[in-house]
């Protein structure tokens, strides 16, 4: 290989390695799984509870964005086991220093404080629960207090 080509190839490799190293160090937003039905979300969750979101108790940092933590009165543990009152983090739709971490209609757990019982699909453990995703972490129960077979229309 000619010295000029060797120098060009070495420079290209160094530039590519630098670019890739830059990509590795950048932290992006988490990718959230989408679930076809509430039953699919329940299958993937560590725990499923039926209850009422009562009130916001605090906020914390989640992937660089402000996330709300809610108190939930649990009427029934459909999957898993635990106390009759838990705290649940509502993961934000956005990440980083966004002024509006909950996009579109806002924090779904805040919305849930204004309606009846809901099913919450949770991941984590007794000390650190969060909903399974920002948009499919809970669903309001049907009038006969069942988990709906399909997600409500937006």
pLDDT beyond 80 at 95: no
Beta bridge partners of 139: 119
Average pLDDT, the chain: 82
Residue among 23, 27, 106 at smallest CA distance from 64: 27
pLDDT at 99: 66
Phi, psi (rounded to 5 degrees) for 66: -75, 130
How sure is the predictor about 35, in pLDDT bands with cuts at 50, 70 and 90? very high
Contacts of 131 (CB under 8 A, 6+ apart): 88, 89, 90, 91, 108, 109, 120, 121, 122, 123, 137, 138
Measure the CA–CA gap between 96 and 123, rounded to whole angstroms. Answer: 22
Residue 12 Ramachandran class (φ > 0 left, ψ -120 to 50 alpha, else beta): alpha
Lowest mean pLDDT among 38-47, 57-66, 101-110, 143-152: 101-110
CA distance to 38, 79, 109, 135, 149, per residue, from 67 (Å) = 23, 25, 11, 14, 29
Tokens read off for 145: 């207090």
Average pLDDT of the residues in 3-32: 46
Model confidence over 60-76: pLDDT tens digits? Answer: 988 888 899 999 999 99
């Amino acid at each position: 290989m000619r010295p000029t080509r060797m120098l060009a190839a070495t420079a290209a490799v160094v530039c590519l390695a630098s670019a890739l190293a830059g990509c590795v160090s950048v932290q992006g937003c988490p990718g959230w799984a989408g679930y076809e039905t509430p039953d699919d979300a329940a299958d993937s969750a560590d725990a499923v509870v039926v209850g009422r979101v009562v009130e916001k108790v605090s906020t914390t940092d989640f992937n660089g964005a402000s996330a709300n933590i809610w108190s939930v009165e649990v009427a029934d543990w459909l999957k898993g086991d635990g106390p009759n009152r838990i705290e649940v983090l509502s993961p934000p739709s956005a990440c980083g220093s966004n002024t509006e971490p909950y996009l579109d209609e806002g924090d779904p757990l805040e919305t849930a404080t204004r309606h009846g019982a809901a099913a919450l699909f949770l991941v984590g453990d007794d000390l650190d629960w969060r909903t399974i995703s920002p948009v499919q972490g809970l669903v309001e129960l049907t009038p006969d207090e069942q988990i709906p077979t399909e997600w409500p229309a937006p």
